Copies of this chain bind each other. A is one copy, B any other.
Amino acid sequence: MSKISIDSLRLLSRLSELGEIGRGGDGRLVRLAASDTEKLGRDTFVSWIEQAGLELAVDRIGNIFGIWRPEGVSDEAPLMLGSHIDTVIDAGIYDGCYGVLSGLEVIETLIEAGFKPSRPIVVAAFTNEEGVRYAPDMMGSLVYAGGLDVDTALATVGTDGTRLGDELRRIGFDGEHEPGFLRPYAYIELHIEQGPVLEREGIQIGAVENLQGISWQRVTVSGDANHAGTTPISMRRDAGYAAALVVTFLRERARNSNTPTVATVGCMNFEPNAINVIPSRVTFTVDLRDPDEDRLKEEEAALDAYLAQVAKDEGVSFNVERLARFQPVTFDANIVELIEGAAARRGHTVRRMTSGAGHDAQMIARIAPSAMIFVPSLGGISHNPREKTPDEDLVAGANMLLDVVCQLAGGDN
């Protein structure tokens, strides 16, 4: 079995090709969920599924599946591999795409090697994992796992005012299958770490045993628009200053704790956003993550308490919307062990670790034994054009996936 290895050139060239789809004149890669550029990425992935001779299926939330259904075992629960191909704004080329294209690569490699699996093997690309255009993130896998009603998800209105359902229909990816139509025997997601741990420790493979909980909130501050020159400081109800207090509070709290808690304010919008007018209305987002559910709840409570204090001190009011909330996830111990063993047999260094990012695997873990394989991200950089993983690590990770798939769908070869 260890004699089989993936076709490195095919995987790397497809990664580069997909990485150019959605790159604008300004050089920025942008493939937001269900957008025109993401449609081009989807079309390319579909063409590769068909080249590989796999059965194509699309479900109602737009998740794409390439299914290898070998004779005789087509009724068995399938082994599923996958990730996503939507991106953030000004993205790198590896986040998500690496897992999807490696899943496809593993299946093609096995077919070409005459491998006889004991069950179908499926590669999946889940819709709207990034959640930049439509909230919540990991939406396609969440719906697939039954965690969100498909019609509710399709009715989601995006940051640009569009409805996800309308956009999926427009780009031709409003499929007919009900989400969850294939219940996986197991799910494995290969992904770049998007963090600095593996590179810093000089380790090539991460066997991901659990995943941080995520809390997304949108906070709206209401104050009083007033003249910047004539309103004494003591009489101001400045929504912008109140928002700035919250940003600094979150950072200082995270910095001064000894926990792995991270807090990020990524979106900020001022109204009326005029140079000589005190901001009357400010909207910003809060992204809180922690591998421990109790600590995550503590952080949410601390934020609530601080908002109440600022409202009192500054004479502003806060409105808080919950955009997404996911508890920490523990992955399947057996699969994690298989990953460790496979790394050892290939001679790669390996460590168990926690995923700091949200991934489709955390959703699919609700309906099937799941785990993830990480490879290093140089400088821990991701969601950024400088996102980079060396080719040898990309190939090593894909071969890990190949070996684990052989063990979980092992036939008589």
User: Which residues of A approach B to under 8 Å, CB–CB?
Assistant: 88-90, 130-132, 135, 137, 193-196, 212, 214, 216, 224-235, 238, 240-241, 243-245, 247-248, 251, 254-255, 260, 262-270, 272-280, 282, 285, 287, 289, 323, 355-358, 380-384
Q: Which one of A214, A273, A274, A381 has the highest number of Cβ atoms from chain B below 10 Å of its Cβ? A: A274
Q: List 21 A-B contacts (CB under 8 A).
A: A88-B272, A89-B277, A135-B275, A196-B231, A196-B232, A212-B229, A216-B275, A224-B384, A225-B383, A226-B381, A227-B382, A227-B384, A229-B355, A229-B358, A230-B380, A231-B262, A234-B255, A240-B265, A268-B269, A268-B273, A268-B282
In the bound complex, how far is the Cα of B280 from the Cα of A89, in angstroms? 12
Q: Are B230 and A195 in contact (CB under 8 A)?
A: yes
Q: Are A262 and B196 in contact (CB under 8 A)?
A: no
Docked-complex contact A233 and B251, CB < 8 angstroms: yes
- Of chain B, the residue at the smallest CB distance from A225 is B384
Q: How far, in angstroms, from A212 to B228 measured CA to CA in the complex? A: 12
Shortest CB distance A294–B (Å)? 19
Known: A196-B235, A227-B384, A241-B265. 20 other contacts (CB 8 A): A88-B274, A90-B272, A132-B274, A132-B275, A132-B276, A137-B276, A196-B231, A196-B232, A225-B384, A230-B357, A232-B260, A232-B262, A234-B255, A235-B380, A238-B264, A267-B275, A268-B269, A268-B279, A269-B273, A277-B383
Closest residue of chain B to A32 (Cβ to Cβ) is: B274
A324–chain B nearest beta-carbon distance, Å: 9
Contact B229 A356 (CB under 8 A): yes
Q: In the assembled complex, which residues on chain B have CB atoms less than 8 Å from the CB atom of A228?
A: 262, 264, 266, 287, 289, 383
Q: In the complex, how many angstroms separate the beta carbon of A134 from the nearest chain B beta carbon?
A: 11
- Cα distance, A278 to B384, chains bound together (Å): 10
Contact A89–B274 (Cβ < 8 Å): yes
4 closest A-B pairs by beta carbon, nearest first, are: A195-B230, A230-B356, A244-B247, A228-B264
